Structure 1
Amino acid sequence: MATVNFYLDKPNRKDQRPILLTYLLNGSKIRFSTKLKTTDKDWNAKDQKVKRNGANESEINFALDEFKRVITKAELDTKFDPSGLTLDLIRSKLEEATGKKKAAFTIFDAFDEYIREAEITKTTSSKKIYEVTLNKLKAFNEDKRYQLSFDSIDSKFESKFTDYLINDHKLVNNTIGRYIKTIKSFMHFATERGYTNNYRFKSFSVIKQGVDIIYLTEEELLKIYHFKNLPPRLDTVRDAFCLGCFTGLRFSDLSELKFANLKQDFIELKSKKTRDFLRIPLNDYSKEILAKHKGNPPQVISNQKMNDYIKEIGELAEINSNTILIKYQGATKVEKIEPKYNFLSTHTARRTFVTLSLEKGMRPEVVMSITGHKDYATFKKYIKLTENVKLAEMNNAWNNKIEP
């Protein structure tokens, strides 16, 4: 049982007596100078505080309560790991609170540094993932009182953090995988900087499961493309979305597309995500959209607002076939069945371009050169060939009978 007591030390030349703190834990104790002073006549030994109307009563008693608060927080933080509560820990916390000891460079300080450096070399979307991962780690540390440190990044942490994301935040496996991947990347950074020599993170498993790819069939795309009488607020969004479907541009590139990027039969730009130079041929549909906007790319609104509008456009165009989207939270299957328009987003455009281009017979390497994909493993997740294409391929391969 731990106890905190305040008592007066020997008086100085002005008859002021320093107030000392003692902390008793499992039969051992530490003494700590509060740097506060009072006199015998102002001190209430029974209540261990300055008497009412004593000199500096409010200031001193408030400070003494703060010392207790620091100790109480340290005790609560180690509630689920009693071995972590030590006299050294209490002394360290008291020293930090009084400025005697500079606060230690923590794992969160290192993660902030990691994010700051990402601003130089990483994309905005990558930096956002890093920031969200850090926030999740801080929430985990607070909610579970885990006392996260460089040394505690081990298999036990991996298990508990994954469990926390599944059960407390209801996240799906692929999202959890992104957080674990980011933590591994951060720990590589920390070891290279010499902040830790803990390499146990290397065994962490990054969950990456195949996902259902939502794309438009050619019939559905053309229904949206030719749909008449859309409200003005939706018409330009439809044009921008369809331009993505006909070029494979990412939203981040589509949103920054300018007249200067249009070079006769091509779009020429440096991809915001990969910083690669892309030269994308313009087909008749793309040219028609640009001509409608007097040779300029259609104006693009925010990603979130555009996603809302695309769903609305899909509903108006009756892109409403029942669609099943399956994800996993741990081993639990989460199945969502809704009209297809509810699953449409800006990223559907890129998936639609890849899938329809392949269905129309374009070679994968040609499509990859247009979209900027560098390896087939990444590119493959966008491919979802229809049953009709499978049937056509099978017929072409096997239905030319050779007579004996």
Structure 2
Amino acid sequence: MKINFSVLFFLKKPKNYTKGAVYFIFLRITVDGIRAEMSTSRNCEPDRWNAKVGKVIGTKEDVKTLNAYLENMKAEVYAAHSQLNADGTAITADNVKCKFLGKAEKTHTIMEAIKIHNTNMAALVEKEDYAEGTLRRFKVLEKHVKEYLLFKYQTSDLNIRHIDHEFIDGFDFYLHTSKDNDTNTASKHLKNLGKIVRICLRNKWIITDPFFGYKLKSKLVQREYLTADELQNIAGKKYSTARLSQVRDFFLFSCYTGLSYADVQKLKQTDIRIGIDGEKWLFSYRKKTGTPVAVPLIPIAADILERYKDHPFCANQNRALPISSNQKMNEYLVEIAALSGIVKTLGNRIAKRTFATTVTLLNGVPIESVSKMMGHTNIRTTQLYAKMLDEKVASDMAPLREMFAVV
């Protein structure tokens, strides 16, 4: 990116100017329209100053000496500019001035950047602009980067300008080896680090993006979902305790609506209203993205809500379902899976995938409608679910097979 840089000398009238007094000679540095000025500690009579070339008019020895001094000063300013450029430092008028004067410029570090980001995000988590889980991932990044700096550089911090492809490659290798991260987990950490670096770029702590041209690696993951038979096994199982039945109902509700744990937890009874077709709909928004969602309730989901409408917690708190903590939910779901003969790990993610696959796509619901109900801002996210479905491919191809069947 080209930066407009210029240096010129000009005269400045003293504050307590008296007629016939000399003017001070000042130097002005301009970078992209932003100025920084300083005195040259020299002066000149106004009528002896050539403003066009920024020099004193005359041929006497004292005039030649002054002009030589100004030229040398200008050359040193240009040298300071070149040194900043070579160091990869942001070129600003103040930075060039500080470099010329020999003043220490403020530097920023990678750990400083991560800590500022995490502090700001923690405040936004309190306002529910971010999920607690997102903050946890950046805290893990902070821990990994700190340990990597000690391991690789024997230091607790590093100038942000020293982050380059070599640092990124080394951190990637460290995550795979020392932290035993798989490819996708390591790439998520690198992606989060990239966000920190781009914030530094916007703040002009660095002038180039070290992630530019760096390709993050990923591997295709087999995402599990429940089949119709597995759903039926869970729904039809009789549990000995009320707590397991309650958690089972919550899980099934997520499977039949596509809502996340956080979305179901905040769901109010008033969010269930009559939709455009005269049937019950669920109107809410995704806590993670703020995207509004409207989901027609199929009978199974509606029956679950009806079952708990008079529950004391739901009645007192205006909640649609009585929800335990996420940790407790996951503990109970382990029991439910074992009792129901399910070998897959039950949880919120598999519930959402089940809604997108077994409940909707496999039953002919168009992918555009599924995307809208799940609150996806990009249909490509929903297409990830569609790729999982060999059954859908088989049913789509069945008419074609019949067409080309040998008679």
TM-score (structure 2 length as normaliser): 0.64
Aligned to 1:372: 375
Q: 1:103 to 1:390 in 2, by over 3 A?
A: closer
Alpha-carbon distance in 1 for matches of 2:270, 2:113:
41
Q: Does 1:150 align with 2:160?
A: yes
Match of 1:382 in 2: 385
Q: CA–CA distance in 2 between the matches of 1:397 and 1:305?
A: 48
Question: What is the CA deviation profile of residues 109-153 of structure 1, one whole-angstrom value per residue up to 9, with x for unaligned ones?
Answer: 222222233344544333332222112111211233354321221
Match of 2:244 in 1: 234
Matches for 1:133-282 after TM superposition, within 5 Å: 133-147=141-155, 148-264=158-274, 265-282=280-297
Give yes or no for contact 1:214–1:344 (8 Å, CA) kept in 2.
no
Residues 225, 350 of structure 2: 8 Å contact kept: yes
**Helix, strand or coil for the counterpart of 1:203?**
coil
- Kept in 1, the 8 Å contact 2:361–2:392? The answer is no
Partner of 2:43: none
Tell me the number of residue pairs that the alignment of Structure 1 and Structure 2 aligns.
Answer: 283
Percent of counterpart pairs with the same letter? 26
138-147 or 118-127, larger mean C-alpha shift: 118-127
Aligned partners of 1:244 and 1:138: how far apart in 2? 38
CA contact (8 A) 1:239 1:289 kept: yes
Tell me which residue corresponds to 1:305.
328
**Cα drift, residue 395 of structure 1:** 1.7
Gaps of at least 5 residues in structure 2 are 1-103, 275-279, 315-319
Shift of 1:401: 5.0
Asked if structure 2 preserves the Cα contact closer than 8 Å seen for 1:210 and 1:381, the reply is: no
> Residue 302 of structure 1: CA displacement?
2.3
User: Counterpart in 2 of 1:353?
Assistant: 355
Match of 1:314 among 337, 344, 354: 337
Match for 2:401 among 385, 398, 401?
Answer: 398
Q: Is the 8 A contact 1:165 1:176 kept in 2?
A: yes
Change (3 A) 1:230 1:355: farther
- RMSD of aligned alpha carbons: 2.4
- Paired residue for 1:87? none
Contact 1:355 1:384 (C-alpha < 8 Å) held by counterparts:
no
| 1:402 Cα offset (Å) | 8.2
Asked if the contact 2:370/2:382 (under 8 Å) is kept, the reply is: no
For structure 1, list consecutive stretches of 5 or more residues without a partner in the other structure. 1-100, 320-339
Distance 2:164 2:108 in 1: 19
Q: Which residue of 115, 133, 137 corresponds with 1:129? A: 137
Change (3 A) 1:284 1:381: same
Pick closer, same or farther for the CA change 1:199–1:402 going to 2, 3 Å.
closer
Aligned match of 1:49? none
Per-residue deviation at 1:185? 1.2
1:166-225, Cα deviation, whole Å (9 max, x unpaired) = 111111111111111111111110011121224222233222322111100011011101
Matched residue, 1:79: none
Residue 244 of structure 1: CA displacement? 0.3
Contact 2:163–2:210 (CA under 8 A) maintained in structure 1: yes
Q: Which residue, 284, 305, 309 being the options, matches 1:294?
A: 309
1:228-278: CA deviation from partner (whole Å, max 9, x where unpaired): 134222111111100000000012211221222222411111211111111
CA contact (8 A) 2:357 2:385 kept: yes
